[in-house]
């Protein structure tokens, strides 16, 4: 399973989906996250000014849920570019942003489901984790 920024933030911010997402991640065994996603998470935490130090918070999150961090490679770059072309903001109801496209690309490259919040990815051909 691949984890998107929206799911990570929902857990960290205590949003209504927190418990369900936490359970899914805790029992997933082998969930992964893109370095692009972690960069977006850092930006979100900084912009929300939630008093969290992004690196420390995300390192703890990675350890807690035993996530594998996957760097962006050439295959993912190509898949992300195609995702932006097909599902990007201004082109499609999914309205994927750049970092969404990397979550999409990692899930596609691994043929894995994606854990996310919201309905953006529901408008794509990605397999949802829940």
Residue 100 among known ligand-binding residues:
yes
Using only the alpha carbons of the chain, give its radius of gyration: 14
H or E element that contains 69:
strand 68-70
Residue 93: band (very low, low, confident or very high) from pLDDT cuts 50, 70, 90: confident
> What is the tens place of the pLDDT at every residue in 24-57?
999 988 899 999 999 999 999 888 766 668 889 9
Q: What is the mean pLDDT of residues 70-95?
A: 91
Its pTM stands at: 0.92
More confidently predicted of 89 and 120: 120
At the topology level, CATH places domain 2-120 in: Rossmann fold (3.40.50)
Neighbours of 62 (CB within 10 A): 17
> What is the tens place of the pLDDT at every residue in 61-72?
999 999 999 999
CB contact at 8 A, 128 and 114: yes
pLDDT at 50: 62
Of 36, 40, 20, give the one whose Cα is nearest residue 28: 20
Structure tokens at 87: 């599902």
Neighbours of 15 (CB within 10 A): 14
Residue 4 among known ligand-binding residues:
yes
* Domains of the chain, residue spans: 2-120
């Amino acid at each position: 399973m691949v984890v998107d920024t929206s799911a990570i933030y929902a857990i960290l911010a205590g949003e209504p989906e927190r418990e369900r997402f936490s359970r899914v991640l805790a029992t997933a065994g082998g969930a992964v996250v893109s370095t692009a996603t972690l960069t977006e998470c850092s930006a979100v935490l900084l912009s929300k000014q939630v008093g969290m130090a992004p690196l420390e918070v995300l390192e703890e999150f990675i350890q807690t849920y035993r996530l594998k961090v996957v760097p962006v490679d050439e295959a993912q770059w190509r898949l992300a570019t195609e995702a932006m072309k097909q599902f990007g903001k201004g082109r499609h109801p999914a309205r994927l942003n750049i970092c969404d496209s990397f979550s999409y690309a990692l899930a596609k490259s691994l043929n894995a489901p994606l854990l996310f919040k919201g309905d953006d990815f529901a408008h794509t051909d990605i397999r949802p984790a829940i």
